[in-house]
Chain A
Amino acid sequence: MKRVGVFVCHCGSNIASVVDVKRVAEAANKMQGVAFATDYQYMCSEPGQDVIIKAIKEHRLERVVVAACSPRLHEPTFRKTIEKAGLNPYFVEMANLREHCSWVHSKDKEGATLKAIDLVRKAVSKVNKTFPLFPGEIPVEKRCLIIGGGIAGIQAAIDVADQGYEVVILEREATIGGKMAILDKTFPTMDCSACICTPKMVDAAQHPNVKLYTWSELESVGGYVGNFEVTIRKKARYVDLGKCTGCGICETKCPKKVPSEFDFGLGQRPCIYKPFPQAVPNKPVIDAKNCRKLLENKCGVCAKVCPTNAINYEDKDELVTEKFGAIIMATGYELYDWTKDFGEYGYGKYPDVIMGLQFERLVNASGPTMGKIKRPSDGKVPKNIVIVKCVGSRSTEKGKSYCSKFCCMYTAKHATQILEKIPDANVYIFYMDVRTPGKMYDEFYMRTKEGYGAIYLKGQVSKIYQEGESLVVKGEDILAGKPIQVKADMVILATAAASVYDAPEVAQKVGFSYDKDGFFTEAHPKLRPVETNTAGVYLAGCCQGPKDIPETVSQATAAAAKVGSLFSKDKMATNPMISEVNEKLCSGCGLCIPVCPYKAIELKTITERVHGGQVQRQVASVNAGLCQGCGPCTVACRSGAINLKGFTNQQILAEVDTACL
């Protein structure tokens, strides 16, 4: 038996108002092995920590139990405390009297106190079986991979590169810029999106520490924090970037035109194309699905007109593998495909019912209509325009349950843009709520409504249908308590922002978790919002959840700062609470390998002396850099050969015995 000290925290009134903390301390004093027990109002405060340090010295304590909040919050705090007092930092155990007791049993004070005593008793028995643990060290490859070249990826790249580290931006499209490059103006200041986005694209591309891999996809990720090994597929571009000068002759001569993805089908592009004139790199790609030369071996005009012989129809995909120390996920979002679910709005069969991003192209000076708002069906200037909010957002029936966050602001922006360009237009906005938290956001909304005269109607739209040349929008004005009907020339749907269709697949490749909607999960919603639960992988922008440009840029800079702090050391400390294999017990069955979510276990061959001879056999081996200490391997192991340090079978069983016996 070790000499254990128990420190019961009041957590202000969080614990003490429900649990009788004095009684818990008294009960602890009588537990076997406990040499000292006391309570204090705020154990995590400096005087609270002093109580612990003093008690360790005075009572020659060897192990410490802090009965307070969740270890997720203050375990690191108390580890440092006891380290200061000269103990191994892993000799502290926390009994969670707050989240696991007082917060959930506030109506049963007596029961909560008894449970608190049990929790302390368990912690005491566990801490008794603790061994000293020591963090290891791994080297750090100081190169950062950024997946996604939208504004989040660009900002993060510039910020990491400015700190002096090498950065690679991986972008699946032919240009960086992402969704921001599509937009016309940005709320609430109405800056031209291109004017603030394209210079950043150029900054990133010209930065000496930044390398661009556009038209490339993530193939696979191996390794671990500080030492990721990433394979990238550089898709065949059919244009030699080294030779191409971006003169654009090929684009003007290409005889085949197809709908432009960048304009969401509202405009046309040739089959050798740059997505938009300010693309970075400013060099085209050949669309292999439509190119006549590649499909039918006819045409070949682009190669004939190219002054630098940059066209190479024989180009093939190329795989490259590179090492990185950190990865920033900046894969962005896409608009929810309303045409699958919204039959009441016509399943997409009415050409004048468009999405917000399509409107951005219609109103954009470099868009298919040169910035003149003309409706897609017949090119007429619409006079009556209806905007429908929350299409697929905030719905348990269709689409997504969450609020897409930026639609309220961009619909207000669209309304002002329409009313500026078509002064005699009527803009009707159907809304569920108007949500405009943000600096100068509500002021912007009020200006749209009162200054520009956009008509806000609280209620949902039940049906949209074509009647002759116009659309009829049937809805409800719940403030007037009446069904209403608006004749519109064009309807803009503020469709939900959804995760990119293959986001879960990408998350699995890199090896971290995502939520039910396909958005990437942060390590802690409040305190670790830019980290994932996989060390060395960080999040920026809408891949983590819908957010507007300022928020995206802040998160990108935050992710870059995290990468900077990781790269600031040549070697990094590893968490010692990881699995270890007792090779004597391991039979090499390999059952632990598939259960490991971090691919941290593999088989290795060892040589043993048996009866004077040498025998080779296979055993499991844990990669200390990859293991996150989650523990399924210890459960899967049939012979009990795997133990999780800090949560050993002996420790857990001691807790169970205490709780049950």
Chain B
Amino acid sequence: MKYAYYPGCSLESTGMEYNLSAKAVAKHFGVQLEEIDDWNCCGASAAHSTSHLLSIALPARTLALAERQGLDVAVPCAACFNRMKGAQIEVRESPKMRDTIQEVIDMEYTAQYEVKALLDVLVNELGIGRIKEAVTRPISGLKVAAYYGCLLVRPPKTMCFDDPEDPQTMDKLVEALGGEAVNWSYKVECCGAGHSTMKPSVGIPMIKDIIKNAKLNGANCFITACPLCFLNLDMRQAAAGELAKDSFQMPVFYFTQLMGMAIGYSPKELGLNKHFVDPMKLLNDKEIFRHPDTRREKA
């Protein structure tokens, strides 16, 4: 399996550990991620709130570059994935838009290759069976709230890889890794996105509600596939805890980190030392890394 890889801006900065762990896990399973040469920002919400054309053209340029590599594209960030998939579908379905975009980006782009979420690639394409086989260090004891956020599976007609209201991909993954996927209610609620920075009075309560609900339903950590969701849940957890008058202490993991852990990678290789909410306490409590039989060399 070989994919053109689009890390996006977050994975170069706040989501560095996502990038690290994604590459490690992909390599382990023989999924080649070939970084797109000269990729640019997907435009995020800034582009589509200013100009519809810009919001298509920015991801289309990167997709056009990937098309030269002749590969389907794997996108780790939920927001990037959303923008790229949207652009691809619009270009694919409207010849008029295709002509416009080709003129704007001054490149050929036919939208013939697929855009996939890295989660989709590493779970559905790879197959739960293969993942299960590779597990040497089950994450037993972790009660995981799988948090998908609002962008990863919506709008359903565009994203079309999981149920928009009760998605299951990460829940299945957690079970395969030996953890327990908690049944909870805030799986696809919005994390507040940039509001936690721009307007904390709106953003922080949203984060608080998510963490509260996960905790209420018995979770002891989160799994996510979006760097912004991660950032909000991790970095703003202290502020949210203050608001809730509760010190939450709920570590947040990228799904690739949990996968890496379970197949034997060390905390450092997965960037677990970069979290605001220290995950090591929980992981040590549950003796995930102490299991005698789970050295990576054996994996």
Interface residues of chain A, those whose CB is within 8 Å of chain B, are 342-344, 347, 463, 465-468, 472
Contacts and interface: CB of A to CB of B under 8 A. Distances in A.
A457 B216 CA distance: 29
Interface in B158-178: 163-166
Contact of A344 (B165, B186, B216): B165
Contacts of A342: 165
A279 B213 CA distance: 47
Contacts of A467: 185, 213, 216
Given A465-B185, A466-B185, A467-B185, A343 B213 contact: no
A347 B186 CA distance: 15
16 contacts: A342-B165, A343-B164, A343-B165, A343-B166, A344-B165, A347-B165, A347-B166, A463-B185, A463-B189, A465-B185, A465-B186, A465-B213, A466-B185, A467-B185, A468-B216, A472-B185
Nearest to A350: B185
Contacts of B185: 463, 465-467, 472
A463 to B, nearest CB: 8
Given A342-B165, A465-B213, A467-B213, 16 more contacts: A343-B163, A343-B164, A343-B165, A343-B166, A344-B165, A347-B165, A347-B166, A463-B185, A463-B189, A465-B185, A465-B186, A466-B185, A467-B185, A467-B216, A468-B216, A472-B185
Interface centre among B163, B185, B186 (most CB of A within 10 A): B185
A519 to B, nearest CB: 26
Identify whether the interface residues of B are mostly helix, strand, loop, or mixed: loop
Interface in B165-205: 165-166, 185-186, 189
A468 B215 CA distance: 12
Contacts of A468: 216
B208 to A, nearest CB: 13
Contacts of A465: 185-186, 213
Contacts of B164: 343
Interface residues of B, number: 9
Contacts of A344: 165
A343 B188 CA distance: 11
User: Lowest 8 A-B CB distances belong to which pairs?
Assistant: A343-B165, A465-B185, A343-B166, A344-B165, A343-B163, A347-B166, A467-B216, A466-B185
A343 B187 CA distance: 11
Interface in B116-166: 163-166
Contacts of B216: 467-468
A487 B78 CA distance: 31
A574 B121 CA distance: 67
Nearest to A462: B189
Contacts of B165: 342-344, 347
Nearest to A468: B216
Contacts of B189: 463
B204 to A, nearest CB: 16
Contacts of A466: 185
A339 to B, nearest CB: 12
Nearest to A464: B185
Nearest to B189: A463
A466 B189 CA distance: 14
A468 B212 CA distance: 12
A466 B216 CA distance: 11
Interface in B237-266: none
A467 B212 CA distance: 10
Pick from A342, A343, A463, A466 the residue with the most CB of B within 10 Å.
A343
Contacts of B186: 465
A344 B186 CA distance: 10
A471 to B, nearest CB: 10
B165 to A, nearest CB: 2
A119 B183 CA distance: 69
A344 B185 CA distance: 9
Contacts of B213: 465, 467
Nearest to B164: A343
A343 B162 CA distance: 12
Contacts of B166: 343, 347
Interface in B213-233: 213, 216
A388 to B, nearest CB: 15
Nearest to A466: B185
A339 B61 CA distance: 41
Nearest to A485: B209
B167 to A, nearest CB: 9
Contacts of A347: 165-166
Nearest to A342: B165
A105 to B, nearest CB: 31
A342 B213 CA distance: 21
Interface in B54-74: none
Nearest to B166: A343
A342 B163 CA distance: 11
The interface centre, meaning the residue of B164, B166, B186 with most chain A CB atoms within 10 A of its CB, is: B166
A419 to B, nearest CB: 29
A152 B28 CA distance: 67
A347 to B, nearest CB: 6
A377 to B, nearest CB: 16
Nearest to A341: B165
A344 B216 CA distance: 19
A467 B210 CA distance: 12
B294 to A, nearest CB: 36
A347 B187 CA distance: 14
A344 B163 CA distance: 11
A466 B164 CA distance: 18
A371 to B, nearest CB: 32
B173 to A, nearest CB: 19
A622 to B, nearest CB: 47
A472 B216 CA distance: 13
Nearest to B184: A465
A72 to B, nearest CB: 40
A342 B164 CA distance: 10
B23 to A, nearest CB: 33
B168 to A, nearest CB: 11
A467 B163 CA distance: 22
A472 B163 CA distance: 21
A467 B213 CA distance: 8
Contacts of A343: 163-166
Contacts of B163: 343
A300 B138 CA distance: 53
A343 B165 CA distance: 5
A472 B189 CA distance: 14
A34 B126 CA distance: 80
A545 B33 CA distance: 55
Nearest to A472: B185
A344 B164 CA distance: 9
A463 B190 CA distance: 12
B114 to A, nearest CB: 25
B123 to A, nearest CB: 20
A554 to B, nearest CB: 41
Nearest to A343: B165
Nearest to A465: B185
A342 B165 CA distance: 8
A286 to B, nearest CB: 38
A472 B212 CA distance: 14
Nearest to A471: B185
A148 B163 CA distance: 38
A463 B188 CA distance: 10
B260 to A, nearest CB: 30
B216 to A, nearest CB: 7
A468 B164 CA distance: 24
A487 to B, nearest CB: 13
A465 B189 CA distance: 12
A460 to B, nearest CB: 14
B154 to A, nearest CB: 11
A466 B183 CA distance: 10
Nearest to B163: A343
Contacts of A472: 185
B120 to A, nearest CB: 19
